[in-house]
Amino acid sequence: MMDAFAGLPVELISLAEFGNLPDAVEDGQTFAENALLKARFYAQQTGCACLADDSGLEVDALDGAPGVYSARFAGTAAAAAANNKKLCRELEALGCQESRGRYRCVLAFVDEAGQELLSQGSCEGVVRTQAAGSEGFGYDPYFFVPELGCTMAQLKLEQKNKISHRGAALQAMSAELAGYLK
């Protein structure tokens, strides 16, 4: 985020600097709804403009699942390994070893007056049932990027940031904020 907004006249402050804040309830049905819920909640909690994201994996063979439930696909307290195991089981139950899919990210900005901006980004790929790589986190070992011939977990952070859904959403939000700040 620091790099994406370096050219803007803003100061970024982590929520951690505000002390022990309660968790926002993420009960939206879309990434945009959840990102806005979080941005509105933390803008109200802090009295400052807030930027929040919601992101996840959409798998075509699973009708877009896990989607907004990506972090809790195998249950609310599930770790990445359990989510990945469930993802593979569901694909295999359909007779699939792979499926088209995408990482999607929506960023929401809410200022102190309640003005809202949204941006989004996605990264298309193939979700496979065989893991490869040890970089990254979450579903990265199963998310193959055909143009690069490797999974997200086989990319260095700098490469990943250039092609990722979050990187694309940050670039779009930077442009939105530049217009907003004029």
Annotated active-site positions, please?
A: 54
Q: Which two tokens stand for residue 175?
A: 């442009």
Residue 58 gets which letter from DSSP?
A: E
105 within 8 A of 122, measured Cβ to Cβ: yes
Bridge partners (DSSP) listed for residue 119? 107
Q: Which two tokens stand for residue 63?
A: 């009708």
Q: How many Å apart are CA 56 and CA 128, to the nearest integer?
A: 16
Q: How many Å apart are CA 81 and CA 68, to the nearest integer?
A: 18
